[in-house]
Structure 1
Amino acid sequence: MGSDGGHCSFVLLAEFDILAGAQLKYQFPQPLGVDESVLAMSMLPDGAETQLDDWTIFFLNQTAFNTISPVLALDTPEVKTTALDGEPAQKPDLLCVLNLVRTKHDKTLDRGAKVLALAICTRHPFIQIFKPVLLMALDDYFSDPSQDCLARLFDAVNSMNLSAAPILTRNEKMVMRSSDRKDIFAEKFGHGPPPLQGWNNGKSLLQHRSTNSGESFSSFEEGILMRNKDRDEATMGAVSVQQPTAQSSPSEASFSLGGSAVWVGDESGLDTASGEGGGEADSIISFVGSSTVASTHRRRRSTDASSGSSQAHAKDGMLRPSMSHTPSSFDPYMRSGAVKDTHFFHTTVVYKDHQLPIKMPLATFPEEVGDYSLITLIKAFSSQTLVSGPLHPHLHTNGPQTHPIIILFNALVTGKRIIFLGHKKPAGEVSSFVLSACALGSGCGAVLRGFIERSFPYANLNNKDEWEAVPAYIAGVTNPIFKSSPTWDLLLDISAGSVTVARDIHTTYPTTGGMPLGIPSLVRSATFSTEGSLGSEEDMVRAGNAKADNNADNLFIEDIKSAIEYHYGESLVRVRFTEYVLRFVRLASRYEEDMTGSTKFGYPSSAFDNRAPNPRLGSGIVFNDESAGRKELAANSHRIEAWRKTNSYEYICADFRNAQLMDAIQGFDVSHQLFRLRNAKSMSDAEVSTIMRTLAENVKTYDQVIELLAYLMPHGGGLLHIAFCLFHQKESVREATVDLFNQLRAYPVGVLFLQALNHFQRYAYVRQAHAREKRLVVEQQQYQQPPPQQQPPFYSSTSFNRTYSTDRMVTPTINGGFQ
């Protein structure tokens, strides 16, 4: 991103004329070439005069009626490669338009008020960062109504310097957005050295820090390390231990309490709400955030050995909010030097000598536009009693018990026409619901795409024919006349919180009477599976009718509602929906494989095979209960079939093909292996050993480490389940785990994940890594020492009844004698 990176493409100004209506007065620096009346009506929504200030959002370059070229003013026409098959397509970048509407009352005017709208067009999805400068520019225009105001706004936004902003990859964004630590990726802001590559010139970069007697340590950890030190000194004597120059296990010095980035024993580096040092517990909470390790929401006080662990709980038993990392002299990466939150890049926009602070989010995907809120969306549509209309298998995957949010998700992924109606609501509020729905369907932009390009956050009667002609549109309206329109499939009334399914939806989207081909056999095999028992005649009748209950969706929604009730943040809810959409895609991949024999957007389903000389890892989605898995496939079959006919499906197939070529970790399904380690009821030693050895061999570079960590959501335990392999009965598994953790520890972000492990897991890692390094050093020294001078063999006659001269070679024979 450069300082002149074209942040603002156009600036528009519209006003309401009492005679002519909504008029587009200025287009700077040049006309867009779009129908001016369409732009003016989009900028001046219905009922704008009733609001002092309102925000609307709409897009350009979606369809033929609102396409402009070039997307940058005074530039040559530029197109973007967005074709599904990878070939260039004549489709320019999507432009986001942020529009501010203001009503200024003036009794001297004919209508008693003046209504103006000022908008900027940008390619950035994080359009909310431009709100401060837009507010100031509109104030400027009211005081000096001239085109010079638009020119100043255009120049100010384009002069915003983002050249120092780090550009994150998809996996880095996934790691950042799942972490509440304010120092995540601080090394990318120039606050510390570049990522470590093992050891530097034979000396560990994680040095031991001298500590004062007044500092607080965990006596449990300190005692163990002191005993290890005494034992090593007794066995090795005065032998000096040198650090290996290549990447190796951490030394004792680097694991000392004061300076270790793994032990994190210095509580002085963390601020707590009570002003006391929380130590390791605060570090974990600041990394994990306000979420728990398990997916449930039970509360239990910690029994950790650290004296500061209990401080991580508030009086009501709830986890405290995340802590910020404050300056500390021993932090080798100087993450604490980043005073501001590294989730954002902080810059300024200079408008008329005013320095306006800007916080640009770094983990935003193109499908996430604006400052949306999934929590607001869920709270608005949370009552199943307010759902009306016929049941349709594309939408009601759990029959009448389907939650409204699941109905909305199903409508999004199956390509239904959706309208959000906000009668007497600000247009900005309606727009926010549309953008939240797009994020919901895409997994917060991290999984699916194709929703923003068919969304119209604010739509009106003036361009009704155009946006209603877009297949599977997602529109936000304020005029109640749309409620009687026959062109929508799902209508969500924001004011009432009601969800209405169109009466003729079965005619518009007909479905077969039974399950799709292949699924009935799955259901029958599940019914007569020996893994489950049918406890009653009612259960047998239900199973015989093949009515599979999709309880996974209901459990997920209950989990989300509990998280909101316990005041968990927006970030956790977004991560959970990302996981939900990821699982839907993996479930659809399994369904496609069962139906067609192969899948275009996922790994084929297979179990671990230990029969070959080289064991083959499993892949694909995992069901702990195959019977329940088959029922889930049957329950989701209709919505998966409908989704496979949408552009979203074509996009995911193209994205998977690209991932197969571009992913840093190649050759096996990482998600499958992590799921097995986390949820498998039983695993053979051979499978665990193969998984850990494969991870250790394929996770070495920075990109590979980031890709692995992107799968390990902190609220799901992070490295917790991998760390259990440190206690495995097989030494090869423990050794591979230590190798993997050593490779993670070479990078600052890996250190943060290791910090989140509990005392026992970190101690197991320290002890095993330290013991192995000592062993390797001793072996190396023994190898380097010259062998002792050997005396010529002499064998007495009493031993063999014969005396052998010293110059005669004695060799054993086959039968054990000598010759």
Structure 2
Amino acid sequence: MGSDGGHCSFVLLAEFDILAGAQLKYQFPQPLGVDESVLAMSMLPDGAETQLDDWTIFFLNQTAFNTISPVLALDTPEVKTTALLGEPAPKPDLLCVLNLVRTKHDPTLDRGAKVLALAICTRHPFIQIFKPVLLMALDDYFSDPSQDCLARLFDAVNSMNLSGAPILTRNEKIVMRSSERKDIFSEKFVHLAPPLQGWNTSKTPLQHRSSHSAESFSSFEEGILMRNKDRDEAPVSVQQPTAQSSPSEASFSLGGSAVWVGDESGLDPTSNEGEDDSILSFVGTTVTGPIRRRRSTDASSGSSQAHMKDGTLRPSIAHTPSYYDPQMRSGMAKDTHFYHTTVAYKDHQLPIKMPLATFPEEVGDYSLITLIKAFSSQMLVSGPFHPHLHTNGPQTHPIIILFNALVTGKRIIFLGHKKPAGEVSSFVLSACALGSGCGAVLRGFIERSFPYANLNNRDEWEAVPAYIAGVTNPIFKSSPTWDLLLDISTGSVTVARDIHITYPISAGMPLGIPSMVRSATFSTETSLGSEEDMVRAGKDGAKTDFVAKADNNADNLFIEDIRSAIEYHYGESLVRVRFTEYVLRFVRLASRYEEDMTGTTRFGYPSSAFDSRLPSPRLGSGMVFNDESAGRKELAANSHRIEAWRKTNSYEYICADFRNAQLMDAIQGFDVAHQLFRLRNAKSMSEAEVLAIMRSLADNVRTYDQVVGLLAYLMPHGGGLMHIAFSLFHQKESVRDATVDLFNQLRAYPVGVSFLQALNHFQRYAYVRQAHAREKRVVPEQQHYQQPHQPPQQQQQQSLYASSSFSRTYSTDRMVTPTMNGGF
């Protein structure tokens, strides 16, 4: 992103005239080419005069009636060369419009008030960051009503500098949003750090050498390295431990050891000894809350005030600021989830916090918790049952009904009578995020959403298939063009009476099932209902005539978990991550269903079990169930909504995304999600399968992109690396060695270090001990073969030096070399 990246495409101003109604007064820097009355009515919602301030959102370039060209102002119109060749023209970029409506009361006016609306059009989905400057610009216009105000707003937004903002990949965004650490990916902010006096800035402390992970310089171990070096330089003679001893209990009391203890007893939130101008290294603690300072007695900060031989202070490597200095406060990010910048409007510098982990399907500052709280009772669901929507019969939760309606392409309306248009818009945007898995899994929802819709352009947006609209006029409740209506005022959910006529359903499963289909065939016992039930429900419209079987317990368990999390005051981030997992599982379930029905799948790995009979064991892949009988019931319960989803644009998008992932993913050749599922949930696994999985992960997770790709599957709230770390205690030594290899490769990168720190003390200790013992066993052999002609005494000294370098990396002055390579 550059400073001149066209953050603002257009600026619009609308005004309500007592005689002419809503009028679009200004379009800067040029007209959009869209019906001005449509724009004006979208900017001035019904009942705007009853609200002092209101925020609304709508989109451009969705359909023919609101498409503009060019997308960026002052650009030349695009030449549709593909259309000349008879191919479909590419879709123009979607423009998000953030609109501020204000009512200023004035008794001297005819209606006693003046209603104005100011809007900016941008391609960025995180439009909420522009609210401060939009507020100031509208105040400016009220005091000086001229087009110069729009020009100042246009220039101010486009001058915002985002050139230093890290551009994250999909996997990096998933890792960032699932982590509560305020320093996640802090190495990407190193270029923003101010130079430190007395410190060599030619090489940042977060840069790694291109060498084996055992030699990488990470603050994961630098504090201990420095402490041991101070000990070695000291004139006091220290007795070296013998190889037959074991780690003492005292080694666990070194509070806050960055390597494997993780004890926070050495952290003092008030003490600032030796750390006046620095913060904790991003790997020096597992604390995810406010920054706390470490006492000088800490193992990893013992050298923070160490003296050089010439008497000068030596800066601590472990406590070198990675990207932010709280004393300088030079605008750097306190939280790496955001990029901090400013917008200069007139004489004001407005602070901007740009979220870095936003997907295109996430527009604005939506809230899934608010959506779930508003529609939380099955008792408020009315209308006939339909298998596309009611995947769990009468027990189907309203939020699951909404998700089913979203993925199956139903026409959805959110009604907010006497509610601010901005509140209705927020519900529509939350629903789009819900259906897409918070933007990380599916797409195609934003392009058919109308956060605020009105009567003026009703024919246009109602003509869009599977629209998602927000309205404030109760007249839409009697409209025959919606399939699902959600009233945010009452929390009621209404299914259209003629939904069975609009979406007819045949009984049972589709015909033509291949004979080679595996055991996942479906009987009438697990079907949702008979054809007679559906026909009767379509005719009568009474929900008691059609009752689906409540076999889909996974949905109910998921909703119960979400409701419990909200009741215990877990944050929005956790709820979003859980819905991302839910949509991911739905996609994998649909892939399994498609394979069972057609013999192949277009958007997933084929389902197969681990096979050790081949010369090279073949890993399993695809969706697997611990209980095949329960799996068949779940597939049957979801069959109708999966069939309906396969007819939508969202399905076509996921197929295209999967094809691209097969070419672009860093980890190639096997289904990572399947292997992690087996490690976490399998009731029993052979030694051969465990070894094949761990060896495949260790061999294919080496580069930074591969490390992030693996961690994107390991949500911290689900245990992170915990289930992989259990392999450190496997009875087979080759499994333990493969796990150590994998962790060594994760340790080479700061993001991997943060996940290793989340392991419990016991697992971290097992990793350190085995890695230490293994390096002590392997390095002398390598030194012996590399330098065979040196005198024996010199060979022994070099071998011990090479081994001790790794030993210092993983040990403290009280930790000694264990004699065993495996478990305790």
- What band does the TM-score fall into relative to the shorter chain? 0.7 to 0.9
Question: Using the alignment, how far apart are the partners of 2:477 and 2:495 within structure 1?
Answer: 11
* Pair 47,321 (structure 1): closer, same or farther in 2 beyond 3 Å: farther
Please give the secondary structure, in 2, of the residue aligned with 1:99: strand
* Pair 129,613 (structure 1): closer, same or farther in 2 beyond 3 Å: same
Question: Using the alignment, how far apart are the partners of 1:811 and 1:430 within structure 2?
Answer: 64
Question: Using the alignment, how far apart are the partners of 1:815 and 1:296 within structure 2?
Answer: 38
My pick for the range that moved more, 197-206 or 2-11, is 197-206
My pick for the range that moved more, 131-140 or 244-253, is 244-253
Per-residue CA deviations over 1:184-215 (Å, capped at 9, x if unaligned) read 01110116999999999999989999999999
* Pair 62,288 (structure 1): closer, same or farther in 2 beyond 3 Å: farther
My pick for the range that moved more, 606-615 or 192-201, is 192-201
* Pair 463,614 (structure 1): closer, same or farther in 2 beyond 3 Å: same
Unaligned runs of 5+ in 1: none
My pick for the range that moved more, 40-49 or 294-303, is 294-303
1:653 corresponding residue in structure 2: 655
Question: Using the alignment, how far apart are the partners of 2:361 and 2:215 within structure 1?
Answer: 48
Question: Using the alignment, how far apart are the partners of 1:232 and 1:14 within structure 2?
Answer: 74
My pick for the range that moved more, 164-173 or 223-232, is 223-232
My pick for the range that moved more, 749-758 or 793-802, is 793-802
Shift of 1:643: 0.2
* Pair 226,120 (structure 1): closer, same or farther in 2 beyond 3 Å: closer
Per-residue CA deviations over 1:418-437 (Å, capped at 9, x if unaligned) read 00000000000000000000
Per-residue CA deviations over 1:430-472 (Å, capped at 9, x if unaligned) read 0000000000000000000000000000000000000000000
The answer to whether residue 76 in structure 2 is matched with residue 81 in structure 1 is: no
Residues 680 and 723 of structure 2 are in contact (CA less than 8 Å); yes or no, is this contact kept in structure 1?
A: yes
* Pair 632,761 (structure 1): closer, same or farther in 2 beyond 3 Å: same
Question: Using the alignment, how far apart are the partners of 1:495 and 1:659 within structure 2?
Answer: 42
Question: Using the alignment, how far apart are the partners of 1:793 and 1:302 within structure 2?
Answer: 33
Please give the secondary structure, in 2, of the residue aligned with 1:518: coil
Residues 522 and 630 of structure 1 are in contact (CA less than 8 Å); yes or no, is this contact kept in structure 2?
A: no
Question: Using the alignment, how far apart are the partners of 1:283 and 1:181 within structure 2?
Answer: 18
Per-residue CA deviations over 1:392-440 (Å, capped at 9, x if unaligned) read 0000000111000000000000000000000000000000000000000
* Pair 350,527 (structure 1): closer, same or farther in 2 beyond 3 Å: closer
Question: Using the alignment, how far apart are the partners of 1:770 and 1:193 within structure 2?
Answer: 34
Residues 589 and 635 of structure 2 are in contact (CA less than 8 Å); yes or no, is this contact kept in structure 1?
A: yes
Rg larger in 1 or in 2?
Answer: 1
* Pair 204,725 (structure 1): closer, same or farther in 2 beyond 3 Å: farther
* Pair 114,676 (structure 1): closer, same or farther in 2 beyond 3 Å: same
Residues 389 and 500 of structure 1 are in contact (CA less than 8 Å); yes or no, is this contact kept in structure 2?
A: yes
Question: Using the alignment, how far apart are the partners of 2:278 and 2:205 within structure 1?
Answer: 21
Unaligned runs of 5+ in 2: 537-547
My pick for the range that moved more, 797-806 or 223-232, is 797-806
Shift of 1:779: 1.6
Per-residue CA deviations over 1:572-617 (Å, capped at 9, x if unaligned) read 0000000000000000000000000000000000000000000000
* Pair 816,519 (structure 1): closer, same or farther in 2 beyond 3 Å: closer
Shift of 1:353: 1.2
My pick for the range that moved more, 336-345 or 802-811, is 802-811
- Aligned counterpart for 1:364 among listed residues 358, 367, 370: 358
My pick for the range that moved more, 511-520 or 619-628, is 511-520
Question: Using the alignment, how far apart are the partners of 1:486 and 1:172 within structure 2?
Answer: 44
Residues 13 and 116 of structure 1 are in contact (CA less than 8 Å); yes or no, is this contact kept in structure 2?
A: yes
Please give the secondary structure, in 2, of the residue aligned with 1:98: strand
Residues 271 and 325 of structure 1 are in contact (CA less than 8 Å); yes or no, is this contact kept in structure 2?
A: no
1:629-640 pair list within 5 angstroms: 629-640=631-642
Please give the secondary structure, in 2, of the residue aligned with 1:516: coil
My pick for the range that moved more, 333-342 or 401-410, is 333-342
Residues 534 and 540 of structure 1 are in contact (CA less than 8 Å); yes or no, is this contact kept in structure 2?
A: no
1:108 corresponding residue in structure 2: 108
My pick for the range that moved more, 49-58 or 224-233, is 224-233
* Pair 773,109 (structure 1): closer, same or farther in 2 beyond 3 Å: same
Question: Using the alignment, how far apart are the partners of 1:72 and 1:418 within structure 2?
Answer: 31
Shift of 1:510: 0.1
Per-residue CA deviations over 1:119-175 (Å, capped at 9, x if unaligned) read 000000000000000000000000000000000000000000000000000000000
Shift of 1:314: 43
Residues 447 and 581 of structure 1 are in contact (CA less than 8 Å); yes or no, is this contact kept in structure 2?
A: yes
1:250 corresponding residue in structure 2: 247
Please give the secondary structure, in 2, of the residue aligned with 1:39: helix
My pick for the range that moved more, 100-109 or 222-231, is 222-231
Shift of 1:89: 3.0
Residues 79 and 90 of structure 1 are in contact (CA less than 8 Å); yes or no, is this contact kept in structure 2?
A: no
* Pair 402,304 (structure 1): closer, same or farther in 2 beyond 3 Å: farther
1:281 corresponding residue in structure 2: 276
Question: Using the alignment, how far apart are the partners of 1:311 and 1:794 within structure 2?
Answer: 29
Residues 269 and 325 of structure 1 are in contact (CA less than 8 Å); yes or no, is this contact kept in structure 2?
A: no
Question: Using the alignment, how far apart are the partners of 1:369 and 1:500 within structure 2?
Answer: 26
* Pair 144,732 (structure 1): closer, same or farther in 2 beyond 3 Å: same
Shift of 1:320: 36
My pick for the range that moved more, 565-574 or 794-803, is 794-803
Question: Using the alignment, how far apart are the partners of 2:811 and 2:401 within structure 1?
Answer: 95
Per-residue CA deviations over 1:290-319 (Å, capped at 9, x if unaligned) read x99999999999999999999999999999
My pick for the range that moved more, 245-254 or 58-67, is 245-254
1:708 corresponding residue in structure 2: 710
Shift of 1:101: 0.1
Shift of 1:516: 3.0
Please give the secondary structure, in 2, of the residue aligned with 1:462: coil
* Pair 303,518 (structure 1): closer, same or farther in 2 beyond 3 Å: farther
Percent of counterpart pairs with the same letter? Answer: 90
Shift of 1:783: 3.4
Per-residue CA deviations over 1:10-49 (Å, capped at 9, x if unaligned) read 0000000000000000000000000000000000000000
Shift of 1:274: 12
Residues 728 and 823 of structure 2 are in contact (CA less than 8 Å); yes or no, is this contact kept in structure 1?
A: no
1:121 corresponding residue in structure 2: 121
Question: Using the alignment, how far apart are the partners of 2:802 and 2:360 within structure 1?
Answer: 87
Shift of 1:782: 3.6
Shift of 1:635: 0.3
Residues 167 and 356 of structure 2 are in contact (CA less than 8 Å); yes or no, is this contact kept in structure 1?
A: yes
Residues 59 and 96 of structure 1 are in contact (CA less than 8 Å); yes or no, is this contact kept in structure 2?
A: yes
Residues 410 and 483 of structure 2 are in contact (CA less than 8 Å); yes or no, is this contact kept in structure 1?
A: yes
Please give the secondary structure, in 2, of the residue aligned with 1:103: strand
- Aligned counterpart for 1:773 among listed residues 772, 775, 789: 775
Shift of 1:513: 2.2
Shift of 1:540: 24
Residues 346 and 358 of structure 1 are in contact (CA less than 8 Å); yes or no, is this contact kept in structure 2?
A: yes
Shift of 1:622: 1.6
* Pair 82,385 (structure 1): closer, same or farther in 2 beyond 3 Å: farther
The answer to whether residue 633 in structure 2 is matched with residue 620 in structure 1 is: no
Shift of 1:776: 1.5
Residues 726 and 733 of structure 1 are in contact (CA less than 8 Å); yes or no, is this contact kept in structure 2?
A: yes
Residues 367 and 444 of structure 1 are in contact (CA less than 8 Å); yes or no, is this contact kept in structure 2?
A: yes
* Pair 503,760 (structure 1): closer, same or farther in 2 beyond 3 Å: same
* Pair 660,198 (structure 1): closer, same or farther in 2 beyond 3 Å: farther
Shift of 1:90: 3.1
1:439 corresponding residue in structure 2: 433
Question: Using the alignment, how far apart are the partners of 2:314 and 2:368 within structure 1?
Answer: 22
Residues 529 and 627 of structure 1 are in contact (CA less than 8 Å); yes or no, is this contact kept in structure 2?
A: no
Please give the secondary structure, in 2, of the residue aligned with 1:2: coil
Residues 13 and 118 of structure 2 are in contact (CA less than 8 Å); yes or no, is this contact kept in structure 1?
A: yes
* Pair 204,434 (structure 1): closer, same or farther in 2 beyond 3 Å: closer
My pick for the range that moved more, 338-347 or 130-139, is 338-347
* Pair 250,600 (structure 1): closer, same or farther in 2 beyond 3 Å: farther
Residues 796 and 804 of structure 1 are in contact (CA less than 8 Å); yes or no, is this contact kept in structure 2?
A: no
Shift of 1:91: 1.5
My pick for the range that moved more, 70-79 or 477-486, is 70-79
* Pair 450,12 (structure 1): closer, same or farther in 2 beyond 3 Å: same
* Pair 800,118 (structure 1): closer, same or farther in 2 beyond 3 Å: closer
Residues 217 and 257 of structure 1 are in contact (CA less than 8 Å); yes or no, is this contact kept in structure 2?
A: no
My pick for the range that moved more, 447-456 or 189-198, is 189-198
My pick for the range that moved more, 337-346 or 604-613, is 337-346
1:486 corresponding residue in structure 2: 480
Residues 29 and 151 of structure 2 are in contact (CA less than 8 Å); yes or no, is this contact kept in structure 1?
A: yes
Shift of 1:517: 3.6
Per-residue CA deviations over 1:43-69 (Å, capped at 9, x if unaligned) read 000000000000000000000000000
Question: Using the alignment, how far apart are the partners of 1:798 and 1:225 within structure 2?
Answer: 11
Question: Using the alignment, how far apart are the partners of 1:134 and 1:379 within structure 2?
Answer: 30
Shift of 1:180: 0.7
